[in-house]
Amino acid sequence: MTGIHRLSGLAFAGAAAIVIAPSSQAQSVDAGVEATTDEVRRGLSWSDGEVSASADARVGFGGLDASVRVAALRKSDRHANADVVGDLAIGKDWEAGAFTLRTEAVGHVFSNADSNMNYGELGLGARYTIGPLQFGTMAWYAPKQDNIGGDNLHLRATADAGLPGFPVTVFGAVGYTTGDTRDARSARLRPAGDYADWKIGAEYTQFPFTIGVDYVGTDIDTSNTVSVSPFADLKHAGDRVLARVRLSF
């Protein structure tokens, strides 16, 4: 219960700060809470393969957008037994004809870990929309930092489509992660070195609820049960099916 109380407190504080601070010029405000069978990012479980809950808020103001998301990590081996992660981001969309370019900076802050796990990364990408279809590409780069054992680059391509006449969206994504390795902490984001990941799924939205099912996977060899790094958490880097439900405000 301590972890849940901490999550609730951090979520409330973060959401309040991001919503109230720019309220005088806010152009859009979105927020919500979500439960999922596993907090998976780039094909890797961040919640030790266990059920997770999260809360988030996003505000658009002055041509920029700022967001905060707080998620339970359930004493994640990948992040040195951290209970909670807070993702703080600021970004901007740039219109370029038929394309929308995206720039952003993201900080990941971990609570109650055995050591400092915090790190940051920069994002650059583009998306193109035609009718109910949207295609996107994105690259996130984390410069060399001690807490991730080097640097890290993640490339991603996405596609999604709304089904005409139905409140259902289907989507797919493929990603590739690479980077420089200095020490064992690089296994947090690359458990066995460079790898590819994928995701396909569908979600049904009837505001304020969204229900989704995802299939995620990686090409990481998870049969190697003896890892050189305590951060690799290979048993939670394989294929799995996820279910999630979200309540939007």
With the C-alpha atoms ordered 42, 77, 187, 152, is the resulting torsion angle positive or negative? positive
Compute how many other C-beta atoms are within 10 angstroms of the C-beta atom of residue 148: 28
Backbone angles phi, psi at 180, to 5 degrees: -90, 140
Q: Identify any residues that bridge with 114 across adjacent strands, giving them in sequence order.
A: none
pLDDT of residue 223: 85
How far is it, in rounded angstroms, from Cα 138 to Cα 146? 24
Collapsed DSSP state (helix, strand, coil) of residue 81:
coil
pLDDT in tens, 206-245: 999 999 999 999 999 988 766 678 899 999 999 999 999 9
Collapsed DSSP state (helix, strand, coil) of residue 25:
helix
pLDDT in tens, 141-172: 999 999 999 999 999 999 999 999 999 999 99
Q: How confident is the model at residue 62 (pLDDT cuts 50, 70, 90)?
A: confident
Residue 112 · residue 83 · CB < 8 Å? yes
pLDDT of residue 33: 98
Domains and CATH numbers, the chain: 2-248 (2.40.160.40)
pLDDT of residue 227: 63
Cα–Cα distances in angstroms (integers) from residue 226 to residues 144, 177, 206, 219, 237, in the given order: 26, 22, 45, 17, 14
Quote the Cα angle for 8-11-17, to 5°. Answer: 140
Tell if the pTM clears 0.85, that is, is over it: yes
The count of C-alpha atoms lying within 13 angstroms of the C-alpha of 130, restricted to the half-sphere facing its C-beta, is 5
How far is it, in rounded angstroms, from Cα 246 to Cα 163? 20
* pLDDT for residue 69 is more than 80: yes
* pLDDT for residue 12 is more than 60: no
* pLDDT for residue 40 is more than 90: yes
Could you tell me how many residues make up the chain?
Answer: 249
Question: How high is the mean pLDDT of the chain?
Answer: 90
Cα–Cα distances in angstroms (integers) from residue 148 to residues 108, 180, 191, 231, 243, in the given order: 11, 10, 11, 10, 29
How far is it, in rounded angstroms, from Cα 121 to Cα 111? 18
